[in-house]
Chain A
Amino acid sequence: MIFTIFKKELKDTLRDKRTLIMMLVIPVLIFPIILNVFVGISASFSEEAAKKTIKIGIVGNEDNYVVKHMEELPDEMGKKEITFYKDTLELIKAIELDSIQIGMYFVSDFKKYMAEKTPAPVSIYFNATDMGIKDRAELYMSTIEDIATQERYVAMNLKESELRPIETSYNNIASGKEMIGKLAGGILPYIFIAFGFIGCMYPAIDLFTGEKERGTIETLLTTPVLRWQILFGKMGVVVLSGLLAASCALLGLFISIEVLDIVDNEELLNIIHGILNFKFIIMLYALLIPLTVFFAGVMIPIAVYAKSFKEAQSIITPLNIVMVLPAMVGFFPGIELDGTTALIPVVNVVLATKELIAGTLDMGLLALSFAVMIGLAVVAVIVSYKRFDKETNIII
């Protein structure tokens, strides 16, 4: 009987355009759009930054050591134009007007400092809101500094290796997978959770409040089906819708990578392929199922109580913030799954997914998170049943 109700409700839900858009279309499109925008913006930004001709303003002598070497730097390091200014006031004003992007001030006795082999002071002016400018200035200056250092070694008849008593090498033992998992892995579960919630929302309102509003619930209650069977049949569709929305987001991710080839970095692709394996998907669903049941269990009593679609929506929409906001915890790299965070619903799912992506998941903590979510899902189902069984709640 539960399956009969489930089948009918699923058919009804899949014929609702609004639900279909929220449940299938938007989740499928979200990853291709996000990745396209992200990759597009970062690629065009770095390309543009590299191509951009930077105007450099100088206060100092034209035969200055730095200026001379800067003019000799190849265009591959970024094109540049050099203009001379009288003083720093003019220089700063020009930066403010964007006539130049970098200003350099060399003291008048700069040559003397160089000749005496003492550190020659240079002041660099730039506007930090103009992205990439400081990087360009640092690139030019570090290159010129290296040239000067080499010249001094030669002039002083010194070996560079003798002046470097310790050679430290820093070796990162974290794999690329772990780095992505810990630093960016929070985004993936966040999107799944957000769509899991939205996917549940419309069917929950439609199948409970909608049925009340349309006056069909009364007929359904006069059939020999038990109320808990009706509840479970409908709840099954709500949960499935949430999972479908999350799955569509996952499908969108696959399409972005495998079909649209949005990510063209070979190393990153290999890491992503290593993450998105069969085991990962099974584990992800093991966490998402109780979470979605919990979402459904929270929404159904509201949908049963509400007298109209509008009323239900006005209560559930703010709930979205309360439920999905904790998922943002996953964005902070320092927060990890431990004995405490495993007890916090939603947060535990995000952190467990993050650890899963990084390949550092502790099975004991996963079991604890899973038990917490199952426990909450059971409580939510009981609350839903109590609400649905209350005769004054189901009839307008």
Chain B
Amino acid sequence: MLPRSRARLLVSTLARPSLRQHVCALHTSPRRLAEQQPPFSTVNDAEIAHFSRLSALWWDERGEFALLHKMNAHRMRFIREKLLSDRPPDAPSRALAGLDALDVGCGGGILSEATQSLARLGASTLAVDASAENVHIASRHAAADARLADALAFRCASVEELVREPRRFDVVCSMEVVEHVDNPAAFVRACAELVRPGGHLFLSTVARTPLAYLLTIVAAERLLRLVEPGTHTFSKYINPDELVGFFAKPLVPGARPWISRTYAHGLPTRTEAEVRGIVYVPWRGDWVLAPRATTPWSSQVNYLFWVRRPYDS
């Protein structure tokens, strides 16, 4: 029998694409969001198994998901800023009252707590995840909090199932999910379909850059073990310009695209969409949300993406 560490090494070299493949991926940079026909389920069974295995750890704020917990406040700052840009925050603690929100791939419910934060901030929120374990953990954790009871519901469902239902939302969030699904284009399209006209879509993911490879896979997974090895797959990362490009084309043939024009560096108009980098600063032990006016350098690794559905699309 192999010693444990060696067995692990063996598995990891077998299971993961080699570095050579990654380097190839860097050079060729296939358009990840290019449409793959026909669209099939976006749920990746291996990923679901991975996160189901970790599901018990979601709420250990100093453990496996510590970085996510810390990220949440910054995501919320971005979401809040975007949602409230067109209405004054007169009652800050219930600022989002009256909004319908959906969190796709809620994991242990951190963001849906944030969405739930959206719930705490007054939005009525549905959180879904394809892993039954995650949904179980998330709903159990939320059940202990009386303030969330009315505003928050959990479901084990995939985004395709939701699209088939009539319900649509003012806010759809899917944080750090796109890089874990099969066929991201179909996934983003489904998320977009769930947004009401005039509603908001928030995504967050990792850019497919050498720096991201170095930080999220080499440093975070292998060297520092901040994240369980195997959490990220480099070839599944998505670049900001790919998301912007996706929404610059009509989602339905003949309809108006969500992003009507772009400027230098491929940046969209701020009233339509925004890409905002979020950077982990190790010596602070915290994330920093890049200021609005920064170069695309800030979104070389983690970034947040917001796009608003036009009323007439």
Q: State yes or no: do A and B come from one complex.
A: no
